[in-house]
Structure 1
Amino acid sequence: MSNQLAVSPAKSLSDFMDKYKGQIALALPKHISADRMVRLAMTSFSQNATLQKCDMHSIFASVVIAAQLGLEIGVGGQGYLVPYKQRDNSYKATFVPGWQGLVDLVSRAGRATVWTGAVYQGDKFDWALGDNPFVKHQPEGDADNWKQISHVYAIGRVNGSQYPVIEVWTMDRVVRHLNKYNKVGASHYAHKDDGANMEMYARKVALLQVLKYMPKSIEVVKAMDVANAVESGKPFTFDGEVVVVQDEDQQPAQDKPEVKMPQSRSAAKETPADVSDVVSRSVSANPGELLSGSQINLINSKMEADALGSADLFAKFGMKLGDLTQDRFQDVLEWIRNPAA
């Protein structure tokens, strides 16, 4: 009989996360520490028996994704570690941004305010679009099951604007949206625990529509891209500061999007070989290809932050933003960092 004691899953994950905590620290914004992010991940891990079955590397990658987005796991609905069952009956984790996390990122940017709501049976609710849009919602019912939700809504207001941007969906429309875009079947987090997460999912679907019309920080753009990729079951990678979503016709046959993360150049020597499949860079795009929507949004956000306009871009590169190709992407980013160079 062996004298060795079995190592618990929590202990194994804790040791692994502590060993490579530096990888997480490199991705985190200043207001979150690596120690706190690891503690939050461990708390989520200890409270979810299915998450404890997940591949350790997928949990690590999910924590790095949360760090990249600046969202805390399980705090105020900012985001969650969600286990997905694979076709081979193994489990992998994915970080899913919550609607509260998206609201928080917009608030941090300081240029707009967004909020959402769910209308249950028995509530008083009225709304209208047009030239004087409004939402009036007075909760009065005592319903608490997602099947008793009639509508969800999201409202966004740009600072100084007269009218809000409004999105209202019936719950039937939300369910049709889930059925159409869900690529992971019963493993989708909205189906878990008899639909316990359906309200969160529904409010986020409406919110993502409103966010299209709000001024966006780099963090908001990345979080939106990740949220959309997760909801539609598409695999994605982080390529520098850009989320690259793989086209549906390029996806491998699998039960969930495979999450892969690029390693920081400064941390390349510290990354263990056994997580290289999780923390890896996406294949470079065709140099002559036009910039993706995510790349254009990123450049727009950075130019706005540094008070640079389209005229400055044209004067420097002799072309409009929509005409830029992949081989100029890094050049544009370098110019924004140092316009006088």
Structure 2
Amino acid sequence: MTRADNKNKLVSQAEGASQAATPSQTIAAYLKKMEPTFAEVLPKHIDKERLLRIALTTIRTNPKLLECTIPSLMASVMQSATLGLEPGLLGHCYFLPFKNNRTGTSEVQFIIGYKGMIDLARRSGNIQSISAHEVYENDFFELIYGLDENLKHIPWHTRSDERFDQPGMIRGAYMVAKFKDGGHYIHYMPKQEIDLHRARSKSANNGPWVSDYIEMCKKTVVRSGWKWLPISIEMAEQVVRSDESVRKDITETATSEVPIIEYNADDLETQPQQEESEVVPEEQQTLV
């Protein structure tokens, strides 16, 4: 082989390396291939292109997700599509990367957010309104259970009987759901009970339990009262499964039809993961 041939070979190899797909391009290829499958399960109110665009943006903006296995990524997008919840900024649902110590791979867990659970409840058709609120030490809060339930909550900064410069410590959180048939449901959890739920979480000392404690309090009370809402059994079970496990509905068969595009680990950057899970599915798994 001549020197010119060697030079041409090196140039060709360099050009091929420069054209290698990035991790996000690889995932985009899989999403495109799975697009018809996602479209089959999407609720009517969700636009297919918008959901896939948001999902890809969510994955691209978190390098840790780019390291996760393709089947687990596709499974999370499928769950998002099935429930009609958009991942990311709206807080409807999240894609959480975690390390599976048993297999040594990084995978994705799909997590429903507090706003997503409220959105699903409203879509049931039986609920007129539903909301969740935190209660502070300096709020006026009175809740009476019984045949004639009564709830009165005046936030600290709107009280007329007393004035406060700060809210004080958080006391708890509650959910109120009004049904279209005229009924209602009130569920209150004191801080001590909420913290018991937090203590059972493997992300108790990081993620949203630290950065967004109030939002996690509201999610906990909605999640706890979920079983008492007039929602179909199928929807309730789907939410429970989605909120507590990593789904494997998208199998290797589904993704094997998409060409594998290789990329180097050097393409990945490292940054802290901001969204954490309340529940991690297996003892062998640790958060990335």
Aligned equivalent of 2:113, options 79, 95, 98:
98
Matched, 1:168 2:188: yes
TM-superposed CA distance for 1:154, in Å, is: 0.9
Within 5 Å, which residues of 2 pair with 1:191-340? 191-192=206-207, 195-217=210-232, 220-226=235-241, 229-230=243-244, 235=245, 258-261=246-249, 271-273=254-256
Residues 117, 153 of structure 1: 8 Å contact kept: yes
Note if contact 1:69-1:219 (Cα within 8 Å) is conserved in structure 2: no
Q: Is residue 70 of structure 1 aligned with residue 53 of structure 2?
A: no
Aligned: 1:178 with 2:198 = yes
Q: Per the alignment, in what secondary structure is the counterpart of residue 107 of structure 1?
A: helix
Calculate the aligned-residue CA RMSD, in Å. Answer: 3.0
Which residue does the alignment assign to 1:301?
A: none
Residues 55 and 202 (structure 1 numbering): CA distance in 2 closer, same or farther, change over 3 Å? same
8 A contact 2:86–2:93 mirrored in 1 = yes
1:49 and 2:63 aligned: yes
TM-score after normalising by structure 1:
0.60
Deviations 1:235-294 (A, max 9, x none): 4xxxxxxxxxxxxxxxxxxxxxx421167xxxx9x833379xxxxxxxxxxxxxxxxxxx
Q: 1:152 is matched by which residue type in structure 2?
A: A
Which amino acid in structure 1 is aligned with residue 142 of structure 2? D
Alpha-carbon shift at residue 64 of structure 1 (Å): 0.2
Give the equivalent residue in structure 2 for 1:15.
29
Seen in structure 2, the aligned counterparts of structure 1 residues 219 and 96 have a Cα distance that, compared at 3 Å, is farther
Distance 2:224 2:29 in 1: 40
Larger-Rg structure = 2
- Cα distance in 2, alignment partners of residues 159 and 132 from structure 1: 18
**Maintained 8 Å contact 1:153/1:203:** yes
**SS state of the match for residue 178, structure 2?**
strand
Tell me how far apart the structure 1 counterparts of residues 174 and 209 of structure 2 sit (CA, whole Å): 22
CA deviations 1:42-90 (Å, max 9, x no partner) are 1211332332332222111101011111222225322111122222654
For the Cα contact (< 8 Å) 1:106–1:216, is it kept in 2? yes
Equivalent residue number for residue 152 of structure 1: 173
Query: How many Å separate the matches in 1 of 2:98 and 2:221?
Result: 24
Q: Do 1:22 and 1:34's aligned partners in 2 also have CA atoms closer than 8 Å? A: no
Report the CA distance shift for 1:130/1:174 in structure 2 as closer, same or farther (over 3 A): same
Question: For 1:114 and 1:193, how far apart are their aligned partners in 2?
Answer: 22
Does the CA-based 8 Å contact 1:156-1:210 persist in structure 2?
A: no
* Greater length-normalized contact order (CA 8 Å, ≥ 6 residues apart): 2
Q: Report SS of the residue matched to 1:271.
A: helix
The answer (yes or no) to whether the contact 2:71–2:255 under 8 Å persists in 1 is no
Q: Please report how far the alpha carbon of residue 121 of structure 1 lies from its aligned counterpart in structure 2 after TM superposition.
A: 4.4
CA–CA distance in structure 2, aligned partners of residues 110 and 47 of structure 1: 35
* Mapped partners of 2:86, 2:207: distance in 1: 21
Q: Which residue matches 2:142?
A: 126
Residue 216 of structure 1, CA deviation: 0.9
Question: d(CA) in 2 for partners of 1:50 and 1:58?
Answer: 13
* Structure 2 CA distance for partners of 1:109 and 1:139, relative to 1, 3 Å: same
CA distance in 2, matches of 1:121, 1:10: 47
SS at match of 2:186: strand
Displacement of 1:151 in angstroms is 0.6
Contact preservation (8 Å) 2:75, 2:250: no
For residues 181-238 of structure 1, what are the alpha-carbon distances to aligned partners after superposition, in whole Å with 9 as ceiling and x for unaligned? x3xx24x7x83166224333322221133332221136632443235x51xxxx4xxx
- Opposite residue 176 of structure 2, the aligned amino acid is I
Greater Cα offset, 165-174 or 45-54: 45-54
Equivalent position of 2:38 in the other structure:
24
| Partners of 2:171 and 2:190 within 8 A in 1 | yes
Counterpart CA distance in 2 for 1:201 and 1:45 is 22
